[in-house]
Amino acid sequence: MKSRRVRSIVKVPGTSSPEIRDIPVPQLEEDEVLVRITQVGFTRRDRLVMQLDERSLPEVSDFLVMGHIAAGRVAETGSMVKDFEPGDLVVPTVRRDCEHCIDARSDMCVHLDLSTNCGINGSHGFAREFMVEKPRYLVKVPPELEEFATLITPLSVAEKAHMELIETRQRYNFFCYHDEDKVIPNTLITGLGPVGILTTMLTSLYGYRLTVFGRREADDKRSGIFEHMDLEYINTTRISTEGLEERGHRFRQIFETTGDPGYIMKILPLMDANAVSVLMAIPETEPEEHQTNLQTARLLRNLVEKNQIILGSLKSGRDAFESAVIHLEEIVNTYEEQLKQIITHRIPFDDFEELFKLDSREAILPVLVFD
């Protein structure tokens, strides 16, 4: 393909809204794959790109191509590429590492200054008609999963958090007979974004006893997804976490996806002895200082007294994407109707501006569809 130009959705720092821009597609090298993007999913993380500043731009670029969730079809492969063929359905991973990291764990690259995240900071995203990519950053997806392919990226975040938690849990592979109930770990998931919902579906495959905390009524579009699932949904705007703590609600495993520091401080006291909490979203605002000091002291005391672990888990590497593909097939078998409710909108590329007008309470994972 001669230096062709394609349409992309970009954000320029300082401008109020995203715009369409023609960008060049680089010449395909022998170890690269040309991908025709077919779907791009937009989440709250993408809306935060609206506040983009110069520091988050890719090198030698005055704009950022948006979109960190996508699926596409392989259009052409370089002569050295073995694992992909034209027509393959693929999903790109998000993190681009320092170029020396182990393939499967680019999400754990220690060089935070050298690694970048497509469509978020330092590397262009996927809201463009074609892109050239290294095979190590592409994951093959069975064609029957095409409708749900944009769920693989948020599901991979759940996969990584769950795998990290399982590994951490190896430290106590025993159960106390005094408390047979706890052989099945009580598991809490907080937050009703795509990652929270998919973490709930993933962990339900493991047979954990599930509780979901959200800040919506039980008949809301988001919480309604759980209606026919075997779990307890609690609207924490109606029932206080302090009250739940007093009534003995305790969790062995917590998956926190809100990133709200004040909320996190209320949730962590619900950790049981030996519990592991995985924080999966970056806390964005500072909690009130006065309250924090008291809560932190108590939290730290619990942490030591009850042998607890709080662990951070962000993004996901290739291995997490690959298990997301396997588990998505299982989730489709069990929760196909619920999965359809996560993808709330399908918007043609030409109407991309509609995406940014959607009410975030209604739009869980809107998807831009390329023709």
Q: Point out which residues bind Zn ion (CB under 5 A).
A: 97-98, 101, 109, 111
* Smaller CB separation from Zn ion, 101 or 195: 101
Residue 149 contacts by C-beta under 8 Å, 6 or more apart in sequence?
39, 71, 89, 91, 141
* Smaller CB separation from Zn ion, 98 or 299: 98
DSSP assignments along 68-124, one per residue: SEEEEEEEEE-TT--S--TT-EEEE-SEE--SSS-GGGGGG-S-TTT-EEETTBEE-
Measured from the CB of residue 278, what is the shortest distance to Zn ion in angstroms?
22
* Smaller CB separation from Zn ion, 97 or 260: 97
* Smaller CB separation from Zn ion, 109 or 363: 109
84 neighbors 138 (Cβ within 8 angstroms):
yes
DSSP assignments along 17-60, one per residue: S-EEEEEEPPPPPTT-EEEEEEEEE--HHHHHGGG--GGGSPTT
Measured from the CB of residue 264, what is the shortest distance to Zn ion in angstroms?
28
What burial class does residue 293 get, using C-beta atoms within 10 Å of its C-beta: 0-12 exposed, 13-18 middle, 19+ buried? exposed
Q: In 145-248, which residue ranges form alpha helices assigned H by DSSP?
A: 152-169, 194-204, 241-246
β-strands 209-214, 251-256 pairing = unpaired
Expressed in angstroms, the distance from the first to the final Cα of the chain is: 20
Neighbours of 353 (CB within 10 A): 13
* C-alpha to C-alpha distances, 156 to 101, 293, 314, nearest whole angstrom: 19, 34, 10
Measured from the CB of residue 116, what is the shortest distance to Zn ion in angstroms?
11
* Smaller CB separation from Zn ion, 106 or 187: 106
Measured from the CB of residue 199, what is the shortest distance to Zn ion in angstroms?
26
351 neighbors 22 (Cβ within 8 angstroms):
no
Q: Which residues of 176-205 are buried (b: 16+ CB within 10 A; e: fewer)?
A: eeeeeebeebbbbbbbbbbbbbbbbbbbbe
* Smaller CB separation from Zn ion, 113 or 286: 113
Measured from the CB of residue 111, what is the shortest distance to Zn ion in angstroms?
5
Measured from the CB of residue 306, what is the shortest distance to Zn ion in angstroms?
34
* Smaller CB separation from Zn ion, 110 or 326: 110
* Smaller CB separation from Zn ion, 112 or 304: 112
Measured from the CB of residue 62, what is the shortest distance to Zn ion in angstroms?
27
Measured from the CB of residue 313, what is the shortest distance to Zn ion in angstroms?
17
Measured from the CB of residue 108, what is the shortest distance to Zn ion in angstroms?
8
94 neighbors 119 (Cβ within 8 angstroms):
yes
* Smaller CB separation from Zn ion, 98 or 163: 98
Measured from the CB of residue 120, what is the shortest distance to Zn ion in angstroms?
17
* Smaller CB separation from Zn ion, 111 or 306: 111
Residue 349 contacts by C-beta under 8 Å, 6 or more apart in sequence?
7, 368, 369, 370, 371
Residue 363 contacts by C-beta under 8 Å, 6 or more apart in sequence?
42, 344, 345
120 neighbors 45 (Cβ within 8 angstroms):
yes
